[in-house]
Amino acid sequence: MTLFAELKRRNAYRFPRLGLLAMLLALPLATRADTVEVPLMVETRFVERAVAEVLELDTAGRSQIRADDCNRVELDDLAVVTLDGAVLVSLAVRAVSGAHMFGQCRGPMPWLGRMNLELVPGVEPGGVVVNFTPLGAELVSSDGSPGVLTGPTRLFAENLLLPRLGRVQLDLTESLAAVDRLLEAALPDRSPDPAERTRIHAVDVMDAGLSLRLGFGVDAAPDVAGRPAEPPLSAGERVQLEPLEDELDGFLTTVITALAESAPTAELRLELLAVLLDARHAIAEAFSENGQAGARADPAETDPVRRIFIESWDRLRPWLAELDFADAPDLEGELRLAAFMAGGDVLRALDALGAQVGLEISADGLRRLARLLLAEKAPERFTPLPREVDPAFRALFGLDPPPPRETRTRSLPMLDFFMPAASAAPKSPAEALRGVVPRLATLDNYLQLVASLLRQQTKAHLSAGSRVPARLKSRFDPLVRATAWKESCWRQFTGSTENPRVLTSPAGALGMMQVSGRVWRGTYDPKRLAEEVDYNVTAGAEILEHYLVDYAIRRGEHKHRGGDDNLIKATYAAYNGGPSHMGRYRRDNTPARLRAIDNDFWRYYQTMQSSRWPEVSTCYAAGD
C-alpha cells in the first residue's frame, strides 16, 4: 500500500488533530563540549497552517488560484499528516482549463479529484527557518483511481500549485532570538558568540510532527575548578533574595493563571494549580530550610530560587502539551507556547550541565521567559504581589466566592469571655474567641468553645453546597478538628492576655488552621486569616475539601490498600505540605520528620472520630 493509499484509507484524508504543539525536553544531547542541543517537537498542524497560508485558503478552507479567466484551480479539504517519516499533503482540486474562443472559454469539462504530494523539510542556511520541498505530486480522481487528465491541464495545475507549495516554511527567527535574550539573562556576562546563538541544527519527521534540534553554544563559568563548597545563605543574603523569591512567585502565578485560562478541562486546571501551590509552599519554606542546612557543593542547593524554578518547571512541563492555543489569530501567536516551552527547556538543559555553567535565575530572566508566552501582555515586573482576594482566580480553580466580612464592635475579648455582662446577648463562639489566648486555668472552657466553633463552621460548610461525597461527610468533621489540633493545638492567638498575637509558623502560616497567606495568595485575605478565627476555620475547611475532592479522590488514593482511610491521610498530607505531598503517607522513602507528623495527625483523627479530645498535655504544658 502506498503512502497516499494509506492517506485515503484514513477516513477520506481527514485526520484527528494530534494535540497541541509538544516540545520534548531531554538532557543536553551529545555534541561538541561547548554546545547544548534541546529537542523540539512541532505538531503537524503547524505545517498544515503554513500550507494553508501559501495557498491562501480562507476561513472555510477554500481558495481559488487563477492563471487567467479560463484557467484556474479551486482548492478545498486540505489535510497534512506525518506518516513513515514523510510529510504528506492532500488537497481536493477542481481544475478548469481552456482558451478564449469567440468571446467564451472553451475547453474540457472541469476535472475533480485530489492532489497528493510529499513535503521534504530542511533547514535554511541561517538556521532559523524550516523550508519544504514538494516531491512526488500525483493527481487522483474523486473515486480514488488514477485521473484521466489532459497534459495541458496537469501541467497547468502543477505549475500553479507546486511553486506555491515550495514557499511553505516555518520561520522561528523571533522565537529563537527571544531564547537568545533569555540565555543572556541566565548567563550574565557570557553572552553567546553570534556564531553560537540558538539555531536549528537538524529536522526529522516523526509520527507526531517535526522534530527540531535546537543548538546553542555555552562556555563554562570562569574559575570553576577547585571552587569550594558553597556555605548556607546568611541572614542578610536571605533578605536580599526575598524580592527575587517574590518575583518567582509572581511569575508562576501570572503564567499558570494564563495557562489555566486556556486549559480545556477542569482536571488540567487543577494540575496547573498543584504546581503553583507546591511552588508557593517551597518558597515559603525555602529560607528557613536553607538556614538550617550545612554547606553544600552544588549551587542549586544553596540557591532556593533556582531550585524551586527547576522543580516547578519539571512539574509544569508535562502538562504544557495538553494546552490549546489554537484560537490565536496568527501562526506567530500559536507559536508563543512553543517559544515559552523552548525557553524553559533551555534553562532546564543548562541546569543539567551542572556548576560549570553557572546558570542564574534572575528577575530579568523570568520576565523574558514570560514574554515568550504572553508577549505584550507580560507585566514589566511581577512584584509587588497583590494581597487582596481575587474572585476570578478563585473561580478559575473551582472555589466559591469568599464569605463576606462581618461588622463587629470592638471590646475587651478576655473580659467579655470570662466575665460576660448580665444584660449582653449571647456571643457566638467566634465572637467570644476574639483575641483570646488559652490559659490552663480556663482551658476546659476554652476548648469547649473552640469545639463549638469547629463544629459550627464545619456544619455550615457541609450544608452550603459542599462537594464532599455522602459516604465521607461523617469523616469531614473529625478531619477538620484533627487538622486544627495538629496545626495549632486549637489556638488562633498566642502571647499574653494583654497583647495577643496571631499564631504564626516560621513559614508564615496563620491562626488555628495555619493557613498561609503566601501559599493561598489571591484566594484568602491574610488580614482576615489573622484577625477572624471563624474565617480562618472556614478557609481551612475549604482547603481540606479542595484537597480531598479535587486531588485525593480524583487521583484515586482510596484505591490503594487502606481504602477511604487513605483519603483522610492524603488530604492532611497535602494540606500540610502541598499537593506533591499527597502520597507521602504510603511511601517508603518519606523522611522521618514528615512520617512523624502524619502519624501524630492520624492518632488525633482517630481520637476525634470517637468524639474524644487528644491528651491536652501534647499541647499545653504546666505554666501555660
Reported as a single tens digit per residue, the pLDDT across 84-113 is 889 999 999 888 877 777 667 776 677 788
Task: Quote the CA–CA distance of 160 and 442 in Å, as a whole number.
Answer: 93
pLDDT of 490-548, one tens digit each? 999 999 989 999 999 988 899 999 999 999 999 999 999 999 999 999 999 999 999 99
Cell numbers at 491, concatenated: 489556638
- Structure confidence at residue 420 (pLDDT): 53
Task: Quote the CA–CA distance of 361 and 364 in Å, as a whole number.
Answer: 8
- Structure confidence at residue 110 (pLDDT): 77
- Structure confidence at residue 487 (pLDDT): 97
pTM for the full predicted model: 0.81
CATH class for the region spanning 413-618 = mainly alpha
3-state secondary structure 43-54: EHHHHHHHHHHH
Whether 415 has a pLDDT exceeding 50, the answer reads no
Whether 297 has a pLDDT exceeding 70, the answer reads no
- Structure confidence at residue 98 (pLDDT): 72
Least reliable range by pLDDT among 62-71, 86-95, 190-199, 423-432:
190-199
Whether 26 has a pLDDT exceeding 50, the answer reads no
Using an 8 Å Cβ cutoff, are 378 and 367 in contact?
A: yes
Task: Quote the CA–CA distance of 105 and 418 in Å, as a whole number.
Answer: 104
Of residues 212 and 427, the one with the higher pLDDT is 212
Q: Show Cβ contacts of residue 549 under 8 Å, excluding neighbours closer than 6 positions.
A: 467, 468, 469
Task: Quote the CA–CA distance of 622 and 440 in Å, as a whole number.
Answer: 7
Cell numbers at 89, concatenated: 499533503
From residue 385, alpha-carbon distances to 248, 379, 436, 443, 514 in Å are 11, 12, 31, 40, 21
- Structure confidence at residue 217 (pLDDT): 82
Which helix (H) or strand (E) is 35 found in, with range?
A: strand 35-43
- Structure confidence at residue 523 (pLDDT): 94
For residue 105, the number of C-alpha atoms closer than 13 Å in the C-beta half-sphere is 11
- Structure confidence at residue 592 (pLDDT): 96
Average pLDDT over residues 551-564: 95
- Structure confidence at residue 85 (pLDDT): 87
Cell numbers at 397, concatenated: 480553580
Report how far apart the first and last C-alpha atoms of the chain are (Å, whole number): 85
Of residues 378 and 553, the one with the higher pLDDT is 553
For the chain, which residues make up each domain, given as ranges? 3-21+39-170, 220-385, 413-618
- Structure confidence at residue 326 (pLDDT): 56
Average pLDDT over residues 436-459: 95
pLDDT band at residue 22 under the 50/70/90 scheme: very low
pLDDT of 110-157, one tens digit each? 778 888 999 999 999 999 999 999 998 888 877 666 555 555 566 666
pLDDT band at residue 302 under the 50/70/90 scheme: low
Neighbours of 521 (CB within 10 A): 21
- Structure confidence at residue 359 (pLDDT): 82
Q: Give the SS3 label for residue 489.
A: coil
Task: Quote the CA–CA distance of 473 and 516 in Å, as a whole number.
Answer: 25
Provide the mean pLDDT of the chain: 82
Using an 8 Å Cβ cutoff, are 22 and 44 in contact?
A: no
- What are the residue ranges of helices labelled H in 390-472? 391-396, 413-418, 429-432, 443-462
Average pLDDT over residues 37-57: 88
Whether 611 has a pLDDT exceeding 90, the answer reads no
Which of these, 298, 341, 291, lies nearest to 316 by C-alpha position?
341
Of residues 102 and 211, the one with the higher pLDDT is 211
Portion of the chain with pLDDT greater than 90, in percent: 47
- Structure confidence at residue 424 (pLDDT): 54
- Structure confidence at residue 490 (pLDDT): 97
Whether 334 has a pLDDT exceeding 80, the answer reads no
pLDDT band at residue 621 under the 50/70/90 scheme: confident
Of residues 296 and 104, the one with the higher pLDDT is 104
Whether 290 has a pLDDT exceeding 50, the answer reads no
Q: Show Cβ contacts of residue 86 under 8 Å, excluding neighbours closer than 6 positions.
A: 3, 118, 120, 205
* Amino acid, res. 420: P
pLDDT band at residue 235 under the 50/70/90 scheme: low
pLDDT band at residue 325 under the 50/70/90 scheme: low
Strand partners, 116: 90, 138
